[in-house]
């Protein structure tokens, strides 16, 4: 499975484009669209075409890494959200995450909820909630729950109005 253009747009939006290397909030050298590999070092720069090439290369690695860790089928939106999460937190952390464990156990809503827990970074030696990560995780969780294979059921309340159930739901 490959990340869709919508998924790439989400990653681009939250990573932003940096044509000159910088240290992110956690002190990691970064360039392009969130690339932290060899090309990201103090004083380095690149053009937009190179940033796109790095993104394609990085995404291929994350697409493969996410797919290898999935034990259940996912739809395109879920895959896009998972790759965005893994792209940001790393494949090792994604592989150990409660989000992945819950998804692989069939708990789609629980997986989306656990995705939002990854909203902190170590800044000056302390874990801090970062507003940008809060927004990113909310966007990823919303995308994760928006696919054609997953709908939150409408449940009647005692007053006769309807609400959306947040319990575990499996597609029939």
Residue 109 reports pLDDT greater than 80: yes
**Residue ranges of the domains in the chain?**
5-164
Q: What is the tens place of the pLDDT at every residue in 40-74?
A: 999 999 999 999 999 999 999 999 999 999 999 99
Residue 148 has pLDDT above 70, yes or no: no
Residue 163 has pLDDT above 90, yes or no: no
Please check the confidence at residue 168 and state whether its pLDDT lies above 60.
no
Pick the CATH number of 5-164 from 1.10.530.40, 3.40.30.10, 3.40.50.920, 1.10.10.10: 1.10.530.40
Check residue 135 and give its pLDDT.
Answer: 97
pLDDT at 143 over 90: yes
Q: Which of 104, 114, 155 is nearest to 137 (CA)?
A: 114
96 SS3 class: helix
Q: What confidence tens digit (pLDDT) does each residue in 110-134 have?
A: 999 999 999 998 888 899 999 999 9
- Is the pLDDT assigned to residue 169 strictly greater than 60? no
Residues β-bridged to residue 145: none
Alpha carbon distance 88, 91 (integer Å): 9
Q: Please, where are the H alpha helices in 4-163?
A: 5-15, 48-69, 76-89, 91-96, 98-104, 108-115, 131-144
What sign does the dihedral 56-11-129-144 (CA atoms) show? Answer: negative
What's residue 156's pLDDT? 43
pLDDT band at 89 (very low <50, low <70, confident <90, very high): very high
Q: How confident is the model at residue 140 (pLDDT cuts 50, 70, 90)?
A: very high
- Calpha distance 2→11 (Å, rounded): 14
Residues designated as active site? 15
Q: Average pLDDT, whole number, for the chain?
A: 87
Band of pLDDT at residue 160, cut at 50, 70 and 90: very low
Give percent of the chain above pLDDT 90.
77
> pLDDT tier at 154 (50, 70, 90 boundaries)?
very low
* pTM confidence score: 0.83
Distance CA 73, CA 53 (A): 29
- How many C-beta atoms surround the C-beta of residue 151 within 10 A? 12
Closest C-alpha to 74, from 97, 118, 106, 96:
106
């Amino acid at each position: 499975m490959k990340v869709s253009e919508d998924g790439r747009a989400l990653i681009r939006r939250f990573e932003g484009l940096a044509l000159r290397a910088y240290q992110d909030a956690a002190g990691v050298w970064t360039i392009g669209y969130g690339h932290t590999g060899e090309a990201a070092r103090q004083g380095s720069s690149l053009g937009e075409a190179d940033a796109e090439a790095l993104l394609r290369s990085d995404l291929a690695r994350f697409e493969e890494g996410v797919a290898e860790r999935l034990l259940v089928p996912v739809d395109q939106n879920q895959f896009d959200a998972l790759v965005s999460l893994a792209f940001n937190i790393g494949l090792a952390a994604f592989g150990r995450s409660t989000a992945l464990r819950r998804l692989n156990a069939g708990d789609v809503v629980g997986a989306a909820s656990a995705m939002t827990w990854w909203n902190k970074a170590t800044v000056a030696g302390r874990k801090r909630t970062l507003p940008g990560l809060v927004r990113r995780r909310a966007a990823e969780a919303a995308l994760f729950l928006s696919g054609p294979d997953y709908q939150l059921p409408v449940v009647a309340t005692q007053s006769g109005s309807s609400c959306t159930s947040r319990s575990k739901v499996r597609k029939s």
